[in-house]
Amino acid sequence: MSLGILIQARTGSTRMPEKVILPFYGEQSILDLLLEKAKKMNLPVVLATTENPQDDRLSELAAKHGVPVYRGSENDVLGRFIGAARQFGFSKIIRVCADNPFLDLDALQTLTATFEASDADYLGFQLEGNKPSILTHFGFWTEAVRLDALEKAAGLTSEKLYHEHVTNYVYGNPELFNVQFLKADPVVFSRTDIRMTLDTAEDFDIQQKIFATISGENPKFGIPEIVSWLDGHPEVLEQMKKEIGKNQK
């Protein structure tokens, strides 16, 4: 059993279908970008998508990157992750959501190294107010969880919420699981005005422009460069605030 990366993706998003496979940067989709980034970690990478025929295109895209695919339930995402981890022999999982084109590679490396040496059932990043990053609009970070913790959660609850949101039950019940957090980068630790997760057409338009601009200036950009650019473009931050207001977590 080992540590592996599971990328969660589907085309059937309610707010913006097919967002992960639309051209985002040149001819590359968000999923293309994330698959390339995940492969830089030198860990096994698996795409965890649904059994729906419309997601055949995701499987085909993953194949072009040499990434294997697990297909499971669209709505029971917890079950999908458990099935994928079992099939590919992952006892520890790095969960990557395919709607985060600005996933920070440095933070991913920090999370991975810490989790490998940890006895935590769950490890994520945390912002001011003890808020898990998964419940924010940033979209910079992943989270890590043990397969046996997911199996335990599945055995303890059948509530739809906890089966749609893979890790919610684990980090939401620290009395039942060993839940640990890393502090987010100080430049964003107290911020509430940045939205780099992608759910809507408005998000897509804003982030596509940002990605193209910053990539042109510095292809190896990370969180500090993004924050610096945003602070120099208050009109973009204002657009983000509106989207945050319309899409509360």
pLDDT tens-digit profile, the chain (249 residues): 699 999 999 999 888 999 999 999 999 999 999 999 999 999 999 999 999 999 999 999 999 999 999 999 999 999 999 999 999 999 999 999 999 999 999 999 999 999 999 999 999 999 999 999 999 999 999 999 999 999 999 999 999 999 999 999 999 999 999 999 999 999 999 999 999 999 999 999 999 999 999 999 999 999 999 999 999 999 999 999 999 999 987
What is the tens place of the pLDDT at every residue in 178-235?
999 999 999 999 999 999 999 999 999 999 999 999 999 999 999 999 999 999 999 9
- 36: tokens are 């390339």
Look-up: residue for tokens 């895209």? Answer: 61
Rounded CA gap, 204 and 3, in Å? Answer: 31
Which amino acid appears at position 188 of this protein?
V
Predicted TM-score of the model (pTM): 0.96
**8 A C-beta contact, residue 147 and residue 91:** yes
In the chain the domains, ranked by start, together with CATH numbers, are: 2-191 (3.90.550.10)
Nearest Cα neighbor of 144 from 197, 100, 92 is 92
